[in-house]
Amino acid sequence: MRLFKQTHIDFMGKRNIWYFISALTLVIGLLGVAFKGVTLGIDFLGGTELLVRFENPVQVTDVRAAVDKIGYTGSEIKTFGNANDISILTARQAEGSKIADDIRAGLTTQFPNDKFQVLKEDKIGPKIGAELRRNAVYAVIATLVIIMVYVGFRFKFIYGVAGVVALFHDVLVTLGFVVLFNGLSPHLNLEMSQDLMAAFLTLIGFSINDTVIVFDRIRENLKIHKTESLFVVINKSVNETLSRTVITSGTVLLVLIVLIIFGGEVNRGFAFTFFIGTISGTYSSIYVASAIVLDWTNRKNKKNALKAAAR
């Protein structure tokens, strides 16, 4: 079975349209980040989070009223997976387990007929929250730098830069989607947590793969077709690698769909983030990474030609 017979798609010819579409997606995503903001989870925010399971379904508004009543106004309260599970998150800090105890006591008095059990309880001190936030930023930067150095070392420097630009593109597009989709469904919790951070980092390591496959073929074809222009070589390379690019991403997307549906609440956010990132990564290996290499080289050649003419 073959998904793609010999294709001859003119990818590079239409790159300006795709540059525009990429830019548009990025702008929409970044506007989302600017206006809707990135919701921080307990890991990065610090505070206390309780996940409680009621015997009967409850209304979020009722729980909010109960939590407000004991004085923790402004807490974030939402369903977690199903109508019986409620997550209560407050950024406030107090000695010991006071906040959790207060919330527990408050829920017991406010819902006398609906028993509940605490499934999970997290308390993160302000220092840890700040530290994890900083670590997350360091981690993303470290990964990007490592990959840029590696790809630059394995290919030409410009390939490394183009690859990392593509990665930035993927991270930002994914971030935009994550922000826009956060809170749209009670089944999809996309606040920034360590799990989401894991998705972003893995994404950086994984989405470079498609780019490497295409670059690898470009390098090979450049040796074989020395007379052809870079434009033709890149188009040829992308076409030749198209089926493997799609299938390698496809198998990963397949397991991600499985994780989104069956993997449980914690893994759903992770899988969703990675899903968006993988699609973006496949796309960007063609229209961002390869296109940048083409445009950069063309410009450099033109400059060199001008210099030569001037002499």
Partner 1 sequence: MKKNRGKIIIILASIFLALYFLYPTYQSYMLTKKLQKLSGADSLQYVQDNDKEIRSIRSKRIKLGLDLQGGMRVVLEVNVLKMFEEMAKNKDDQFNAITADIAKEAATSDETLTSIFQKKFEEKGIRLSRYYGSLRETNDEIMKRLSDESEKAVDRAMEIVRNRVDQYGVSEPTIQKQGGRRIIVELPGVSNENDVRQLLQGTALLEFKLMKDPDIIYKTLAAIDKYLASQGFVDTASTKGGTAKTETGANAGTDTAKASENALASLDQADTTSSSQSVLPEGQKSPEEVKKEHPFLYLVRPNQQGSGDAYVSENDRATVDRILDQPDVQKLIPADMGFYWSSKPSFISGGVKYFDLLGLKKTPELTGGVIVDARATIDPNFNQPIVTMEMNSEGARDWARITGANVNKRIAIVLDNAVFSSPVVRGKITGGRSQIEGMENIDEARLLEIILKAGALPAPVDIIEQRSVGPSLGEDSIQAGMNSFTIALVLIVGFMLIYYRTGGAIANIALIFNVLFIFAILAAFGGTLTLPGIAGVVLTIGMAVDANVLIYERIREEMTTGKTLRAVIDAGYGKAFSAIFDSNITTFFSGVVLFQFGTGPVQGFALTLMMGVTANLFTAIVVTRVIFDVMTERGATSINFG
> How many residues line the site for partner 1 (CB under 8 A)?
73
- Joined together, the tokens standing for residue 130 give 């700040």
Note whether 274 binds partner 1 by CB under 8 A: yes
Note whether 125 binds partner 1 by CB under 8 A: yes
Note whether 201 binds partner 1 by CB under 8 A: yes
Amino acid identity of residue 135, one-letter, is: N
**Binding window for partner 1 (CB under 8 A); candidates: 7-15, 173-181, 227-235, 238-246:** 238-246
* Beta carbon of residue 173, minimum distance to partner 1 (angstroms, whole number): 18
Note whether 239 binds partner 1 by CB under 8 A: no
**Binding window for partner 1 (CB under 8 A); candidates: 15-23, 172-180, 250-258, 290-298:** 250-258
Note whether 270 binds partner 1 by CB under 8 A: yes
CA angle 217, 222, 227 (to 5 degrees): 145
Q: Which of 23, 59, 262, 304 binds partner 1 (CB under 8 A)?
A: 262
Note whether 202 binds partner 1 by CB under 8 A: yes
Identify the CA nearest to 7 among candidates 286, 207, 293: 286
How close are the terminal C-alpha atoms of the chain, in Å?
57
Q: How far is CA 119 from CA 51, 68, 84, 185, 191, in A?
A: 5, 21, 11, 21, 19
- In the bound state with partner 1, the residue whose beta carbon lies nearer, of 202 and 297, is 202
Q: Which of 62, 114, 121, 295 binds partner 1 (CB under 8 A)?
A: 121
Contact 20, 88 (CB under 8 A): no
- In the bound state with partner 1, the residue whose beta carbon lies nearer, of 102 and 228, is 102
CA atoms within 13 A on the CB side of 226: 1
* Beta carbon of residue 176, minimum distance to partner 1 (angstroms, whole number): 21
- DSSP result, 237-251: HHHHHHHHHHHHHHH
- In the bound state with partner 1, the residue whose beta carbon lies nearer, of 13 and 74, is 74
* Beta carbon of residue 81, minimum distance to partner 1 (angstroms, whole number): 9
Say how far apart CA 166 and CA 210 lie, in whole Å: 11
Distance, C-alpha 134 to centroid of its chain: 18
Site for partner 1 in 39-98 (CB under 8 A): 51, 53, 70-71, 96-97
Q: Which of 18, 19, 54, 150 binds partner 1 (CB under 8 A)?
A: 150
Contact 124, 58 (CB under 8 A): no
